[in-house]
Amino acid sequence: MSDPTSEALYLVDAYRKRFEAEVVSAREEEVVLTRTAFYPSGGGQPADTGVLSLPDGGTVRVVDVQKTGEGILHRLDRTSTLAPGDRVTGEIDWARRSAHMRYHTALHILSGVVYRQVGSGITGNQIAAERARMDFSIPGFDRALAESFVEGVNQVVGERRPVTVRFLSRAEALKDPTLVRVAQELMPDVETVRLIDIEGFDVQADGGTHVANTAEVGLARLERIENKGARNKRLYLTLDAPIPAPVDSTH
């Protein structure tokens, strides 16, 4: 079985904006590449968009990215003349990707805070470039409790904790219920589980893209809460700008 990280560059380097690859297959407005930095939609995180530079000097927009049985499929804004073996250069829309990275990491911190405070897992989440939401199964959920969760998020953001990626076998990951906090039916059917480690605070299984330090998230604000049923409480948050790096007073 091939290493998925050799094809999916975003799994090991979320900051990679540009890459080169060969075409595996192409038809009309779809293309599969030997490797890609474009994130395909999944886990509540939308797909990346961006541009492919073609061998003839032209470009096409990548408007959607999906995982399929034949690989990671890039949907284009028009029909191209690409053929197997052609070399292309891809460049992702960095403003969109970086926003998704910040919000995805914010949700991981939020999940860790909620798990510590009330022991609840996740029943759903959704990320956008301007806000994110997370769903929990929490009896007695109200705005005061939600505000306390967001305060906990901001404490971790201010602690400037490193965020790293590591990998574990599925069997080992499932032995530790704290690593897989989503409902079991949401757990991907994969042999190797990718872990996002917020140093000294939280480790969770996840396939999305994340910032390298919690300070890059920026301070969170509670936008609103919703009661979606007896077992589903929803919290929306927005983010301020990333926290600036501390000034080095020795220079």
Work out the average pLDDT over 39-62: 96
Q: Which residue has the higher pLDDT, 197 or 185?
A: 197
- Residue that terminates a domain, selected from 92, 110, 125: 92
Task: Judge if 85 and 182 occupy the same domain.
Answer: no
- The full length of the chain comes to 251
Instruction: Give the predicted TM-score (pTM) of the model.
Output: 0.90
DSSP structure string for 186-202? GS---SEEEEEEETTTE
User: Strand order in 122-127's β-sheet?
Assistant: 122-127, 132-136, 233-239, 220-227
Q: Report yes or no on 137 lying in a domain.
A: yes
Q: Report yes or no on 247 lying in a domain.
A: no
Residue 22 belongs to what domain range? 4-92
Residue 80: CB atoms within 10 Å? 22
Query: Sorting pLDDT into bands at 50, 70 and 90, what band is 177?
Result: low
Q: How confident is the model at residue 105, as a pLDDT?
A: 98
Strand pairing partners for 61?
A: 51
Contact indicator for 93, 23 with CB cutoff of 8 Å: no
Task: Judge if 74 and 153 occupy the same domain.
Answer: no
Residue from 235, 242, 246 nearest 135 by CA: 235
Cα–Cα dist 177/157, whole Å: 24
Residue from 105, 11, 125, 100 nearest 50 by CA: 100
Q: Report yes or no on 248 lying in a domain.
A: no
Cα–Cα dist 110/107, whole Å: 5
| Domain CATH number, residue 11 | 2.40.30.130
| Domain CATH number, residue 163 | 3.30.980.10
Q: How confident is the model at residue 205, as a pLDDT?
A: 85
Task: Judge if 117 and 229 occupy the same domain.
Answer: yes
Provide the phi-psi class of 12: left if phi over 0, else alpha when psi is between -120 and 50, else beta.
Answer: alpha
Q: What whole-number percentage of the chain has pLDDT above 90?
A: 73
DSSP letter at 159 equals T
